[in-house]
Amino acid sequence: MTRILMLFIAVALIAGLPAESGFAQTSAPAFDVEEASRAYINTLQGEELEKSNNYFEGGYWLILWGALIGVLVDLIILQSRFSARFRDWAERVTQRQWMQPALYTLPYVIAGFLLTLPWTIYTGFFREQQYGLMSLDFGSWFGEQVIGLVISLVIFPLLIMAIFAVIRRAPKTWWIWGTGVVSIFLFIGMMLGPVFISPLFNEYNEMAEGPMRDKIVAMAAEYDIPADHIYVFDQSKQHKRISANVSGIGPTIRISLNDNLLERTDPDEVAAVMGHELGHYVLGHIWRTIVILALIIGIGLFVVAWLAPRLIERHGSRWGIRNMSDPAVIPLLSLILTAYFFAATPALNSLVRITESDADRFGLDTAREPDGFAKVAMRLSEYRKIEPGPVEEMLFFDHPSGATRVRMAMQWKADNVENPQMLNPGKLEQE
């Protein structure tokens, strides 16, 4: 179930749009949207195109295998009766029923971490290193995994304690109140994450004074976005991907750019990225995300509330599970939610992709840098397939594809720029 919590946090902390390089301008008698788009899309060719496609298409299988491994790990914990032993240990430690679920989660989270560690090492380190997307050595990478584990050991017991309090008090409608509990945790995570969690992985410093900062401040001021603090964080130590975000809620709202964005891109690209990120804030995507996730989680908890008692009735004695309020049921709940979220992946991807597309349109209107936006879209080809088929994009892409974004930018250019010029972007740097 830790994996489900991390999914919530990962989706909740809305990521930014990446960026890089320069090109020469040439005049053209007429501006053709498709021709202008192909000029960008065709900059990715040969080995680089094959590498990008292989990496991203391989991720399709990771979705399946990751779900299967998650289900298998929870089955092992159930079938071996480790879950019942974790429960028995919690009951020996304290007689307070409200604390027992929180104590149970400590060995459960650690066991899940250890059992999935070989898969995590392959997908999170060796595969990333194989495709040139990892800057950390193994020791540094593993250190970050341990930090993530410690965070889970703090947050997850609190979440589980709250959910089981609801199960005990409202055994028939707990899934409704449980949805509210998870939504509150999402809200708190979005508000406090930028201040207390993000700095555990990266160092944040004020952006230096200069024309680029002035541009960002002016863009933020146009929409009354607090811009007293604009931070640059050292994500180049982990990878070379470009990103930025407007994160936090209320007093914790902050604008952050990673150092890759400033070091690998031109000012028009930075402006395009920040226009997109400001769009998430202005369009209320944080609140939309909370509402949509609450609905999706609510359906998932309803499925759990319907299915879990039936499985307990059939297999509970073999697993050592007494009833739904028994902490030993946690792996069963996690197993059902893992299968549910796997089945819901296309819907989740589409919901996020629609939100990102809205922010793209806002960013184009705000930054008015269609060619900077197109160059940024091409940067994503380092780790995202540039031109998928429509069904493929619907099923597997949680952001619009690079080709979709480039065409959007060129169409915006045709519609909003007086006498738009055809540009030859040349080869964008990929190192």
Domain-wise residue ranges, the chain: 2-424
Q: Is the distance from CB of 276 to CB of 16 less than 8 angstroms? A: yes
The Cα 129–Cα 59 span in angstroms is: 15
Give the residue from 91, 82, 84 showing the smallest Cα distance to 114.
82
Q: Which of 7-16, 170-179, 279-288, 409-418 is the least confident region? A: 7-16
Going by pLDDT thresholds of 50, 70 and 90, the confidence category of residue 404 is very high
**118-126 average pLDDT score:** 97
- Report yes or no: 53 and 289 within 8 Å, Cβ to Cβ: no
Of the candidates 18, 14, 36, the one whose C-alpha atom is nearest the C-alpha of residue 377 is 18
Q: Reduced to 3 DSSP states, what percent helix, strand and coil does the chain have, rounded to the nearest 5?
A: 70, 5, 25
Beta strands in 189-320 (DSSP E): 204-206, 230-233, 244-247, 254-258
Residues 238-253, mean pLDDT to the nearest whole number? 90
For 47-57, what is the mean pLDDT?
95
CA distances (Å), 10 to each of 52, 92, 271, 393, in order?
A: 23, 35, 25, 20
Q: What is the pTM of this model?
A: 0.88
Mean pLDDT of 386-393: 94
Residue 386 has phi, psi (to 5 degrees) of: -80, -35
Q: Which of 404, 298, 407, 288 is nearest to 352 (CA)?
A: 288
